[in-house]
Amino acid sequence: MKKRPFLLATTLMAGIFVFFLVLALTVASFVGQPTTFAIGDKVGVIEVYGVIADSKNIIEQLHDFRDNDSIKALVLRIDSPGGGVGPSQEIHDEVKAFTALKPVVVSMGSVAASGGYYIAASATEIVANPGTIVGSIGVIMEFANFQELLEKIGLSSVVIKSGKHKDIGSPTREMTAADREILQDLIDDVHSQFVASVADGRHIDKEIVGSIADGRIFSGRKAMEIGLVDKMGNLGVAIRRAAELANISGKPKVVYPPGNKSEFIDLFIEQTLNRLQFALQKQRAVGLQYLWPGFN
């Protein structure tokens, strides 16, 4: 008899929890918004927007969805001109590992170029819009030289270095032929890595990929003709295709990483910061870039 109040309280709390869970799911369905706690088999969506400067957040999201048994497939939504070589390669490798366990469908927005395409290459399938900017398979490294300007205003740079190439790329001296050769060898090596990854991920002969890997860009429709894209369509098409590959029947339930759906003002700020970061990276010439310079 003494346990009855506790049992009633537990039952009441459970009932309240179920009520609010059903209410939340109903409201989310009514307003057309995905939820992070949908019941049943789900398709996860991870978004990659703007310049790829860091891989940590995306990799954490990939791990969370990979280890979640209720998420049967992934859609990677990409709207990016690329970015740093290291972060792009890290995300690419994690996407490749994900595809070994679950289907991954890439949905390309306005642009998926250079590093933006690199991270897509190992997906199970790639969906793009007919007018999406695709490609720019290549590597770029930019340097500014202020030597003449410094001379005009009476400033000079004093450098003490351990070897003749330690200040390679310095903005205060002319680049030597030996410097240029070293950097070109570096670019060629990293470029060959890009070509090999695309050839492997897209199951295209490496020589064919090499013939178009000169930095040129393509429309989504042209990219499909040459094998860089599998299907035309928007995000919804990609989600439905991911569900098909995962054998999910009916309308797929869609989930995003917690806190990943930004309000308009947050998205505006995020995109503004991304573009500012891109401009600063161009000015500072920070390292090797899988980056399409046409992004603005």
Q: What is the CATH number of the domain that holds 103?
A: 3.90.226.10
- Residue 36 has a pLDDT of 47
- Residue 212 has a pLDDT of 96
- Residue 256 has a pLDDT of 95
- Residue 74 has a pLDDT of 98
Q: Name the domain count of the chain.
A: 1
Catalytic annotation present for 166: yes
- How many angstroms separate the Cα of 174 from the Cα of each of 134, 135, 147? 35, 32, 8
- Residue 293 has a pLDDT of 76
- Residue 268 has a pLDDT of 54
- Residue 153 has a pLDDT of 92
Residue ranges making up the domain that contains 59: 33-291
Q: Examine residue 79 and state whether it is found in any structural domain, yes or no.
A: yes
- Residue 295 has a pLDDT of 60
Q: Examine residue 24 and state whether it is found in any structural domain, yes or no.
A: no
Single out the residue of 93, 143, 94, 85 nearest to residue 114, CA to CA: 85
Q: Examine residue 131 and state whether it is found in any structural domain, yes or no.
A: yes
- Residue 125 has a pLDDT of 98
- Residue 205 has a pLDDT of 96
Q: Which residues of the chain have pLDDT under 70?
A: 1-39, 259-287, 294-296
Query: Of residues 114, 122, 136, 197, which has the active-site annotation?
Result: 114
- Residue 34 has a pLDDT of 46
Q: Pairing state of beta strands 71-80 and 42-49?
A: parallel
Query: Of residues 157, 161, 164, 166, which has the active-site annotation?
Result: 166
| CA torsion angle 64 57 220 186 (round to 10) | -120
